[in-house]
Amino acid sequence: MDQTFDSRQRRPARIPIARLKNNKTVNYSSLILPLLRRLDPERAHNLTLMGLQLGLGPSNTESDNPALAIQVAGIDFPNPIGLAAGFDKDARVFNAMLQAGFGFTESGTVTPKPQAGNLKPRIYRLPEDNAVINRLGFNNGGLDAYAKRMAGPKTGIVGANIGRNKDSADAIEDYVTGARRIAPFCDYLTINISSPNTPGLRDLQRADALSTLVVAVQSALTETGAEPPLFIKIAPDLTEADIDDIAAVAISSDINGLIVSNTTIERPKFLKGNHRTEIGGLSGKPLFTPSTALLSKMYKRCAGKLPLIGVGGIASGEDAYRKIRSGASLVQLYTALIYHGPRLITDIKRDLADFLEKDGFSSITDAIGVDVK
Ligand SMILES: Cc1cc2nc3c(=O)[nH]c(=O)nc-3n(C[C@H](O)[C@H](O)[C@H](O)COP(=O)(O)O)c2cc1C
């Protein structure tokens, strides 16, 4: 791949807009983003959700380049760019985000019972690093409210991401409860065992615990008769032995995909942001290299046996393309939206299509894992 190719400089980005009721438009990037950045990150996020719920989100009316279409786990994705879990924890804005141009969204993490999460403040921007640290701790309104919203009309592919309550005595039972309740209403189901902010959660990544969890969730899904594809979301902070174990369990238990990865508890020395020592999961640009390295390792172990969804630090079409070339069939992002706003989605799709064409690939499928093979 030609690293010097920056197609964002070749063509001016289309101006993203929010459309008001009287059909006037608001420039999101130059007006709204700078205002939101002055606010506390969690307040800014809640205001964003409110705006999206009021119908003030950007509207992408352009149809996707057919080269971006891909089938994964039996689902036809119009494009491979997804909204990562955590943005729409309570399944309030999935249609608005699909409208903004995402090929799919993942709502959650939802836990069986509502829970408040950790004490505020609990989200920190590191603008110098294009990164965020969060220790939200699965704050969400619980499965009942979530399921009602997920049961409503959807304008595209919406996955559900489930977790456990902090005070739960039986973690596996929490995932089973979530799977049973949400299976009829989601296009795919993600088991999140990788958030760093729920004590003990990541222990479920160990081979024996993971096998037990997967068997329990799979039989719960069979009972519902809905049986959406099942994905597992893993942490980037894994040893080689952990990676081997997870790959072996995922393949032997017929999981439909692995999401690589959640946020990291590592703090690279190069971080500059004032909040770099805050406790929590680090996301955004500093996560790109470690999460992509893990993706490549997983691809080597899983190639052809199960698809991978690449997440971590994607902020451009080139980043998305590198994830795909490192083994991802689909990608997701969150943190870059905080810094760049929704214009990014259109930019990434356009640049990704350009990269594919330039390298002579007629579809995403042809580019998956070419840097690893
Ligand atoms: C504020 C915030 C909240 C998040 N909440 C969740 C969550 O509830 N469940 C989950 O699986 N991942 C969650 N994530 C992780 C993201 O889905 C994603 O895996 C991670 O941020 C890496 O992608 P990014 O660098 O594009 O943000 C959260 C991330 C952020 C920044």
CA gyration radius for the chain?
Answer: 19
How does DSSP assign 332-370, residue by residue?
Answer: EESHHHHHH-THHHHHHHHHHHHHHHHTT-SSHHHHTTT
Give the residues surrounding ligand 1 with Cβ less than 6 Å away: 84-86, 89, 109, 123, 132, 134, 136, 161, 192, 195, 233, 262-263, 283-284, 287, 311-314, 333-336
H or E, element range at 315: none
Amino acid at 301: R
Contacts of residue 123, defined as CB under 8 A and 6 or more positions apart, other chains included, come to: 40, 41, 42, 45, 132, 133, 134, 136
Which ligand 1 atom is nearest residue 336's CA?
26
Specify the residue with its C-alpha closest to ligand 1, atom 10: 85
> What's the confidence (pLDDT) of residue 3?
32
> What's the confidence (pLDDT) of residue 373?
77
Q: Which domains occur in the chain, in start order?
A: 7-367 (3.20.20.70)
> What's the confidence (pLDDT) of residue 61?
81
Q: Which residues of the chain have pLDDT under 70?
A: 1-27
> What's the confidence (pLDDT) of residue 26?
58
User: In terms of DSSP bridges, do strands 230-234 and 257-260 run parallel, antiparallel, or are they unpaired?
Assistant: parallel
H or E, element range at 260: strand 257-260
How does DSSP assign 110-164, residue by residue?
Answer: E-SS-B--SPSP-EEEEGGGTEEEE---S-B--HHHHHHHHTS--SSEEEEEE--
194-237 tens-digit pLDDT = 999 998 888 898 999 999 999 999 999 999 999 999 999 999 99
What separation in Å is there between the alpha carbon of 327 and the centre of ligand 1?
20
Provide the 3-class DSSP secondary structure of residue 71.
Answer: strand
316-356 tens-digit pLDDT = 999 999 999 999 999 999 999 999 999 999 999 999 999 99
